[in-house]
């Protein structure tokens, strides 16, 4: 099948209530029509995801999203500035005939919904031909590292998805930045592929943020602390000399991840990820590739919390913290 046929097939599966994995610029998503609970339920089953963790609804345009979620001035400003792109807005749900248009199963019973317009042309083309939004979490088993290639999806969910659209490797590589605009204060819920600084500049104010979360804490729907964790142990360091000492203590039975080369550190393998956006693009694919016994312990240098470094730091903390408890 060529791409046009694949997209037509994907739209048919979605329309009939089935699952399709598709690429976005951030990570691959596992999609189902967002307006039907029976379809959305299949996502939770396939991922083994708890139903108190709500999903993001994907749209082809700002205008289409406005039929399903209520935008205030701040939301319009951010949507017009950054969509299509790696930004998710949490907004009040729109109701029609006394019913929410996005069902409770997709929002975990919250009266808000996460909405996003992805920028990858293949995703936009898929969404454009549909008269409903597509609910999609990252296409990984719950708690595992998000997929940034079609092969990653095949590796971990291949037997559970009707169709995997292949759009090549994702260009951003970490999930969208999530901003909660459902209340009076604009809050950053998840650092991601759009830099916090760019959002604050557009809004003309700081985003409230509770910072890197403590391990595994679930307070309310939407507050799930996902792990992004590989099976191998991950340890993170701000201080390179501490990392080096740890590598020595491990007799070099480790793999080191850093922005730039660290010549004096003993390790089985040293992976140089580059700075900022380059680090974000490579992070998940690297964690997946290294998730095998020969790796030893992964020792990672944390990037500074600026630009996309904030998201990379967050994902490394999460990958590491699940080992701590």
Which residue of this chain has its Cβ atom nearest to ligand TXA in the complex?
222
Provide the minimum distance between the beta carbon of 50 and ligand TXA in the complex, in angstroms, as a whole number.
10
Number of Cβ atoms within 10 Å of the Cβ of 169: 15
Q: Can you list the positions of beta strands (E) in the chain?
A: 20-22, 29-33, 56-58, 87-92, 95-96, 99-100, 112-116, 134-135, 163-164, 177-180, 187-190, 234-237, 254-258, 269-272, 297-301
Q: Which does 56 bind (CB under 5 to 8 A by kind): Mg ion, ligand TXA, none?
A: ligand TXA
Q: Which does 85 bind (CB under 5 to 8 A by kind): ligand TXA, Mg ion, none?
A: none
Q: Which does 262 bind (CB under 5 to 8 A by kind): ligand TXA, Mg ion, none?
A: none
Among 116, 86, 105, 107, which Cα is nearest to 37's? 105
Q: Which does 113 bind (CB under 5 to 8 A by kind): ligand TXA, Mg ion, none?
A: ligand TXA
Quick one: 136 or 259, whose CB is closer to ligand TXA?
A: 136
How far is CA 190 from its chain centroid? 9
- Contacts (Cβ under 8 Å, ≥6 apart) of 316: 234, 236, 283, 300, 302
Provide the minimum distance between the beta carbon of 147 and ligand TXA in the complex, in angstroms, as a whole number.
9
Site for Mg ion in 135-154 (CB under 5 A): 138
Only one of the segments 117-125, 130-138, 232-240, 256-264 lies at the binding site for Mg ion (rule: CB under 5 A); that segment is 130-138
Provide the minimum distance between the beta carbon of 137 and Mg ion in the complex, in angstroms, as a whole number.
5
Site for Mg ion in 3-62 (CB under 5 A): none
Query: Rounded to an integer, what distance in angstroms lies between the CA atom of residue 138 and that of residue 7?
Result: 19
Q: Which does 133 bind (CB under 5 to 8 A by kind): ligand TXA, Mg ion, none?
A: none
Provide the minimum distance between the beta carbon of 179 and Mg ion in the complex, in angstroms, as a whole number.
17
Among 5, 24, 6, which Cα is nearest to 173's? 24
Quick one: 112 or 138, whose CB is closer to Mg ion?
A: 138
Q: Which does 90 bind (CB under 5 to 8 A by kind): ligand TXA, Mg ion, none?
A: ligand TXA
Provide the minimum distance between the beta carbon of 189 and Mg ion in the complex, in angstroms, as a whole number.
13
Residues at the site binding ligand TXA, with contacts judged by CB under 6 A: 24, 26-27, 29, 53-56, 88, 90, 107, 110, 112-114, 116, 136-138, 175-176, 178, 189, 222, 224, 226
Among 214, 236, 235, 234, which Cα is nearest to 225's? 214
Quick one: 87 or 262, whose CB is closer to Mg ion?
A: 87
Query: Rounded to an integer, what distance in angstroms lies between the CA atom of residue 232 and that of residue 150?
Result: 22
Number of Cβ atoms within 10 Å of the Cβ of 94: 16
Provide the minimum distance between the beta carbon of 305 and Mg ion in the complex, in angstroms, as a whole number.
21
CA distances from 311 to 172, 173, 191, 249 (A): 11, 10, 5, 29
Q: Which does 6 bind (CB under 5 to 8 A by kind): Mg ion, ligand TXA, none?
A: none
Provide the minimum distance between the beta carbon of 300 and ligand TXA in the complex, in angstroms, as a whole number.
21
SS3 232: coil
Q: Report the interface residues with Mg ion, using CB under 5 A.
A: 138
């Amino acid at each position: 099948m060529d791409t046009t046929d694949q997209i037509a097939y994907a739209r048919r599966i979605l329309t009939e209530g089935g699952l399709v994995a598709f690429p976005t610029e951030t990570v691959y998503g596992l999609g189902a029509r967002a307006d039907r609970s029976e379809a959305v339920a299949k996502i939770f089953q396939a991922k083994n995801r708890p139903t108190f963790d709500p999903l993001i609804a994907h749209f082809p345009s700002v205008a289409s999203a406005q039929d399903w979620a209520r935008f205030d001035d701040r939301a319009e400003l951010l949507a017009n500035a950054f969509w299509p792109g790696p930004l998710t807005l949490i907004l009040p749900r729109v109701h029609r005939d006394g019913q929410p248009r996005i069902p409770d199963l997709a929002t975990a019973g919250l009266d808000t919904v996460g909405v996003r317009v992805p920028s990858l042309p293949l995703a936009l083309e898929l969404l454009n031909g549909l008269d409903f939004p597509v609910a999609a979490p990252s296409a990984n088993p719950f708690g595992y590292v998000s997929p940034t290639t079609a092969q990653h999806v095949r590796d971990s969910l291949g037997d559970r998805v009707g169709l995997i659209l292949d759009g090549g490797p994702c260009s951003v590589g970490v999930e969208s930045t999530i901003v909660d605009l459902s209340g009076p204060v604009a809050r950053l819920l998840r650092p991601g592929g759009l830099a916090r600084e760019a959002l604050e500049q557009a809004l003309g104010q700081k985003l409230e943020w509770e910072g890197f979360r403590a391990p595994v804490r679930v307070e309310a729907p939407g507050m799930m602390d996902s792990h992004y964790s590989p099976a191998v142990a991950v340890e993170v360091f701000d201080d390179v000399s501490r990392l080096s000492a740890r590598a020595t203590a491990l007799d070099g039975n480790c793999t080191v991840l850093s922005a730039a080369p660290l010549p004096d550190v003993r390790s089985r393998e040293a992976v140089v990820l580059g700075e900022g956006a380059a680090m974000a693009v490579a992070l998940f694919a690297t964690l997946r590739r290294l998730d095998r016994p020969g790796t030893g312990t992964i020792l990672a240098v944390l990037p500074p919390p600026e630009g996309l470094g904030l998201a990379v730091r967050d994902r490394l903390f999460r990958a590491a913290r699940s080992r701590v408890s």
